[in-house]
Structure 1
């Protein structure tokens, strides 16, 4: 022990002596510059760095890197540079000053980092393993490029007033342009980061193009670290296995890779040049550019029309006009990071893009994408909105959610797995703002083969309805390939009343119950790329003709337009095939859609058209069933100035259940009275409802809604007067007139109040059992011995009593709990009566549809019973003697 201690003491003395003499610890090496001069041993072989030293000398950084400071430098050896020069057919002498700056500064960080700490995000305490990007010493002005007019996109949005490149292109001069206003950050995959984010060996194999199979390797801007840290007095040096170039962003990677040139052209249609002097906060950059280049030329930044990200929001306008589509993010934004509420910045994540090779894209264009080719002829003719669907489904906002081991979680526009596998990846490129997966196939959006596609492909004809589908979140639903759809697509092809727009018309359901209705005329605003509307007072007569009156001067807000169009679209969608031979179908919104005819001679009726005996002719059938999910039915709005409901989209019924029963009260008077003459506090009819602190009203206060309806569809069975009267005559069913006779004394008599409660309960239970969940129609979907719940709760089981229904094209029967079979009475036409009940918010011209219910009414030949033991006994037999006496003494 004594000997060992003597040795340690001697070493300590020597170390302290050196510290005193040199002013620095003995374990600290020379400066970065000196260490590079000495050479570094890598895997037992000394590597030299004369190229890196020349870069340092030529850029006047020798003094900086020879003195104390704080730098981390990732360097390639001379042998690596020799390979790089050969691959790029160049030499050191041919490098420009800008290229030298990029080579050196993109591989240098202005802080000293041990590599095991580089994956930490600064915090208290540090967030370990969370960092994948950080800024380098590069300056954006180091990467100014020259762009010639023939490199600029031509008419990218197929409209002259949206060509943001026109002036520069027509000017005929080259421009100086930055790929972004921020320098390119370094992207690094380090062991702690990969472990924290659950990278697998396969992930790093794909990401490194087979250069590594271990997550224990460290990767810097696509290059592998092959040495330990070299500790210097002014920072650290790490040797990498190749030259770190300019850390291009994803747009630049795609632009410069010959095999992705066609995709780059498609992306560039969404590009725009922005002068730095008109871009907020870049005044200093503009002045530095002019000083460094001794010029008064304008410096531009290459941006892309895209959705806002964490760091930028680029205007979607060209002059006064809004572009028709934007990308999911800007692939040229060096600091790209998705907006989030977690406080994450560029250090935490990046983006990713799936890009097919030119060969794969051409193969798709001639094969699965043939429909697009036949529609437009060339890629340059594909409208931007249509094209954006293809590009955006391959733009992944989070790289960490798109590493190869998570490929099965990448979804398309219908929210189903896109289908990419690691074997599809030809090559992977690490960019400063994300990773580009170059693949050997095209992953197309489901929308290209869904029932939505005809509207997307024919914007001038169906711009309004497509906007509603695309902007109100119907796309993922209608693009699903797991269902079959029939979608009605109204054309906006009728000249507006003002003569200024091409529109389709719509009667506002909020005004169905008013003496004066409101006619909406929806049109697509090309300048703002949105839907707008004009409104007119009108009178809708019973034949379905519309008498247009004065214009409502107040323009509807975007919120009101969305409220009406969302409701409309819900009632234009049918899940299934409307050419299956039925006559009636239920829409997604629960309303009734009637189909007459077949083949090329089909007409449609919504509830309103059924009421008016008007039919809507289908102009065009778009069959998307072969590789898609159904058919779309185009309907024309052209009416030559003669407005009628047959030229409107299928609209939902205007009448409530109350109105239908009242109109047929000569056949259903007793059931109608049981519903309508209810003055109890628990009445089934309501004119208003209250949610939270807001009160909503029915469409017409004279025609109340059924209060037990929710946002669903129902069937109401109306027993014949004869059968109801039989129950009354036998004393099984009370009448409201008895309840009314007790009203004067109920406030002061508990006996009278108890009788009233008993009467209300019996009548309510009777009526509730005649109301069934789900609308069933004769001539609709065949129903065989199907049980449906009613509105009557079984107090013993706490479940609702059911009815058993059988329905076919020409018959409908209902079996109650007691086995009684009741059939629909067709003689008087009180069957298949479509109803809709609305709850309306707001007032005047600002009313909104809060919620609604749909119902179908059928008259049946007898009453429905849920419990004969309790129902087929005199109701008064359950009263006390005192209660009976009170009733017997009531005046006649």
Structure 2
């Protein structure tokens, strides 16, 4: 090779080496690890020298590489002093590999966060400030030994959704922390924290039972917060109740809602990991429950909603369930269930009436955290504020997926304690109970703050009227004419407002039912428009059998149904207006002879529409004569009423007079309705003339007409007022109402 060529090659090689060196330097400067970057979590803990036990756990659990490499973790690292305390409290000399794995995985949460960010809930829409108090940890339970509903030993995995299982979700447990932003947001404080963690001082930087002693140590792969206690994963609600025998009765009811479904994905994963051939079954709680007690996730309305939410359960002890079983079994134990202990009878009741057991269980379920100071402000899954107080609590646990209060008294749910509860629990009224539910009348009458009287209708009565319940027709389980049934049910539901339950045995009065019609009570008997239509005197009233009080009123048991009337209003006026001595005689004579208003064939009064409510105020015969004398009604030559005028002007006078004495609302002497109401009388422009109910008490009704004259409703023992008609109440008045057009 020539000397010139050798020199050229040397120069070229030198250039290539220099160029490569420059490029490597640029690459390292751009992609290389910055000298200012903090060491990874593992190395930082190692350098601090006070985390030897935690590092040993990391090594045993196989997480050394994870915590030494890239990633994003928040690690709550317990010191060696914390481990010394843990070993002493648990009588341990060393920590097993399984224990080490649980400690490390439960101390690691996803995403490295400083203290200032931990209280923010990361949602699909971004961070929601101050609402977070938990983070998902690396720890989750896997397959465990269980027993299915037939008593067979099987391999089980907990559900990770409410009512279902998703094999791609590991059901990770969440770690709670208590920082000032969230505590203020939730309206709780040190007392709430120490209720569950009495052995730890509340500092405003607490993680479970531990305190954060040093915070925000930034690492290459996350953030370290140093804590003074070792954290171990708590049990779930399902795990805790299963392990505690004092809740065996309540657990036996929960088990009614458990099914076991084989999962091929988890079975395969288990077989690969263990070499065993067992199938794995997902333990799934029914979706009819408020939540699944073994679900570590929250509602999953958002991927991370467990950061801001958890469940609460009030778990009644065996003694509490036994005591309350007397309520649930009251109408069943004697005649419908086999003799035995309360657990066996509750199991039988579930077979007969699963809805009763469902409501009992769900009354103890809350889909939000119920903090100790907020018992009376949070609604259960059934929408009811708890009737329990901290004095009923005999056990309290901050579990992995919810708060648990073991209580010495079962929840007295509205489904059983209200006026609806009596109908609900007593099988004698099963068709009525189902009709109330299906037709939408249940919620008001089982709301404890709303006062009602219910007159239950027995199944036998409803069957005799052509009604039945057939669950095999889920879209239309109530068989019969629903229009009639609705009106019938509404007549047996009486809202009280702010009034006390009447004294049905010694007093008398009138009550408006839920659909605007009225019933009457009089010293141990009831009556309605339909019963008062009956011919036999003994049938016109219904004896009251018994009265049972409830938290929101009373159930009044009667021997027959409170029927409504199908007769037109005119027939009830005619009833007291045929003989010359009858109180409605003069008014009815004018009405029946007025061809403009009255249809003699049907009895219909023009302007009185089916389905609407009215009051008719009928002047006494003497008051009618006074109106005749005053020229408001036509008269004969002798000055007496001309009941059948032929002159158009006189006929118009009669029409206007009658129309002004009928108002568009039903009013009775119950002290409830006052105000100004439209009459049937209208002027030429179509505006209705008004009548004012100025005073309404149980003993007095005073009306005022458009001339400002007052008229009294006659409410004496011999007066014909509060007469019940078809969605109408008829009253006798001492004078007449005067209009001005």
Band of TM-score, shorter chain: 0.7 to 0.9
Tell me the equivalent position of 2:430.
Answer: 463
Tell me the equivalent position of 2:181.
Answer: 192
Kindly tell me the number of residue pairs found equivalent between the two proteins: 659
Measured in 2, the distance between the counterparts of 1:769 and 1:135 equals 73
User: How far is the alpha carbon of 1:350 from its aligned partner?
Assistant: 2.4
Tell me the equivalent position of 1:523.
Answer: 469
TM-score, normalised with respect to structure 2: 0.73
Is it true that 1:608 corresponds to 2:530 in the alignment?
A: yes
Is it true that 1:334 corresponds to 2:322 in the alignment?
A: no
Measured in 2, the distance between the counterparts of 1:264 and 1:69 equals 41
Tell me the equivalent position of 2:65.
Answer: 63
Taking a change above 3 Å as real, the CA distance of residues 124 and 344 of structure 1, as seen in their structure-2 partners, is closer
Instruction: Describe how 1:270-289 pairs up with structure 2 within 5 A.
Output: 270-277=257-264, 284-289=265-270
User: How far is the alpha carbon of 1:147 from its aligned partner?
Assistant: 0.9
User: How far is the alpha carbon of 1:237 from its aligned partner?
Assistant: 2.4
Is it true that 1:345 corresponds to 2:305 in the alignment?
A: yes
Give the conservation status (yes or no) of the 8 Å contact 2:77–2:227: yes
Tell me the equivalent position of 2:725.
Answer: 835
Measured in 2, the distance between the counterparts of 1:134 and 1:740 equals 90
Measured in 2, the distance between the counterparts of 1:204 and 1:468 equals 46
Q: Secondary structure at the match of 2:467?
A: strand
Q: Deviations over 1:139-188 (max 9, x none)?
A: 5xx42211135xxxxxxxxxxxxxxx2xx43xx33343325344134243
Instruction: Describe how 1:726-875 pairs up with structure 2 within 5 A.
Output: 727=627, 731-733=631-633, 764=656, 767-771=659-663, 774-776=666-668, 789-791=676-678, 800-802=691-693, 818=709, 823=714, 832-836=722-726, 854-858=727-731, 863-866=735-738
Taking a change above 3 Å as real, the CA distance of residues 440 and 661 of structure 1, as seen in their structure-2 partners, is closer
Tell me the equivalent position of 2:75.
Answer: 73
Tell me the equivalent position of 1:317.
Answer: none
Q: Deviations over 1:347-403 (max 9, x none)?
A: 3322222334x3xx626855x87555766551442334334444333322222xx33
Instruction: From 212, 215, 229, give the equivalent of 1:228.
Output: 215
Give the conservation status (yes or no) of the 8 Å contact 2:387–2:412: no
Instruction: From 282, 301, 321, give the equivalent of 1:301.
Output: 282
Measured in 2, the distance between the counterparts of 1:394 and 1:708 equals 48
Instruction: From 615, 636, 640, give the equivalent of 1:715.
Output: 615
Is it true that 1:378 corresponds to 2:342 in the alignment?
A: yes
Instruction: From 533, 546, 557, give the equivalent of 1:621.
Output: 546
Measured in 2, the distance between the counterparts of 1:446 and 1:763 equals 52
Q: Secondary structure at the match of 2:479?
A: strand
User: How far is the alpha carbon of 1:409 from its aligned partner?
Assistant: 1.4
Tell me the equivalent position of 1:144.
Answer: 143
Instruction: From 185, 191, 194, give the equivalent of 1:205.
Output: 194
Give the conservation status (yes or no) of the 8 Å contact 1:120–1:127: yes
Tell me the equivalent position of 2:4.
Answer: none
Tell me the equivalent position of 2:133.
Answer: 132
Instruction: From 329, 348, 365, give the equivalent of 1:395.
Output: 365
Tell me the equivalent position of 2:272.
Answer: 291
Instruction: From 591, 596, 599, give the equivalent of 1:672.
Output: 591
Taking a change above 3 Å as real, the CA distance of residues 855 and 344 of structure 1, as seen in their structure-2 partners, is farther
Tell me the equivalent position of 2:205.
Answer: 217
Q: Deviations over 1:498-519 (max 9, x none)?
A: xxxxx6354xxxxxxxxxxxxx
Taking a change above 3 Å as real, the CA distance of residues 533 and 67 of structure 1, as seen in their structure-2 partners, is closer
Measured in 2, the distance between the counterparts of 1:66 and 1:807 equals 84
Tell me the equivalent position of 1:549.
Answer: none
Q: Secondary structure at the match of 1:202?
A: helix
Give the conservation status (yes or no) of the 8 Å contact 1:807–1:813: no
Q: Deviations over 1:418-439 (max 9, x none)?
A: 4555565555433343322345
User: How far is the alpha carbon of 1:93 from its aligned partner?
Assistant: 6.4
Measured in 2, the distance between the counterparts of 1:64 and 1:453 equals 58
Measured in 2, the distance between the counterparts of 1:343 and 1:231 equals 26
Instruction: Give structure 2 stretches of 5+ with no counterpart.
Output: 1-27, 334-340, 579-584, 635-641, 684-688
Is it true that 1:355 corresponds to 2:315 in the alignment?
A: yes
Instruction: From 226, 229, 232, give the equivalent of 1:242.
Output: 229
Instruction: From 445, 454, 459, give the equivalent of 2:422.
Output: 454
Measured in 2, the distance between the counterparts of 1:113 and 1:806 equals 67
Is it true that 1:653 corresponds to 2:599 in the alignment?
A: no
Taking a change above 3 Å as real, the CA distance of residues 768 and 219 of structure 1, as seen in their structure-2 partners, is farther
Pair member with larger Rg: 2
Taking a change above 3 Å as real, the CA distance of residues 787 and 175 of structure 1, as seen in their structure-2 partners, is closer
Measured in 2, the distance between the counterparts of 1:657 and 1:246 equals 73
Instruction: From 513, 533, 538, give the equivalent of 1:587.
Output: 513
Q: Secondary structure at the match of 1:624?
A: strand
Instruction: Give structure 1 stretches of 5+ with no counterpart.
Output: 1-18, 41-46, 150-164, 278-283, 306-313, 315-325, 495-502, 507-519, 537-560, 636-645, 680-684, 686-699, 743-754, 837-853, 876-892
User: How far is the alpha carbon of 1:63 from its aligned partner?
Assistant: 2.2
Taking a change above 3 Å as real, the CA distance of residues 27 and 269 of structure 1, as seen in their structure-2 partners, is farther
Measured in 2, the distance between the counterparts of 1:619 and 1:801 equals 36
User: How far is the alpha carbon of 1:652 from its aligned partner?
Assistant: 2.3
Measured in 1, the distance between the counterparts of 2:531 and 2:593 equals 30
Measured in 2, the distance between the counterparts of 1:832 and 1:455 equals 30
Taking a change above 3 Å as real, the CA distance of residues 770 and 176 of structure 1, as seen in their structure-2 partners, is closer
Give the conservation status (yes or no) of the 8 Å contact 1:789–1:802: yes
Measured in 2, the distance between the counterparts of 1:488 and 1:725 equals 43
Measured in 2, the distance between the counterparts of 1:818 and 1:736 equals 25
TM-score, normalised with respect to structure 1: 0.62
Q: Deviations over 1:703-727 (max 9, x none)?
A: 478569997x653123367754764
Tell me the equivalent position of 1:572.
Answer: 492
Tell me the equivalent position of 1:544.
Answer: none
Give the conservation status (yes or no) of the 8 Å contact 1:814–1:823: no
User: How far is the alpha carbon of 1:658 from its aligned partner?
Assistant: 4.7
Measured in 1, the distance between the counterparts of 2:439 and 2:196 equals 37
Measured in 1, the distance between the counterparts of 2:46 and 2:289 equals 48
User: How far is the alpha carbon of 1:653 from its aligned partner?
Assistant: 2.3
Tell me the equivalent position of 2:405.
Answer: 437
Give the conservation status (yes or no) of the 8 Å contact 2:260–2:283: yes
Give the conservation status (yes or no) of the 8 Å contact 1:670–1:725: no
Taking a change above 3 Å as real, the CA distance of residues 628 and 594 of structure 1, as seen in their structure-2 partners, is closer
Give the conservation status (yes or no) of the 8 Å contact 1:413–1:446: no
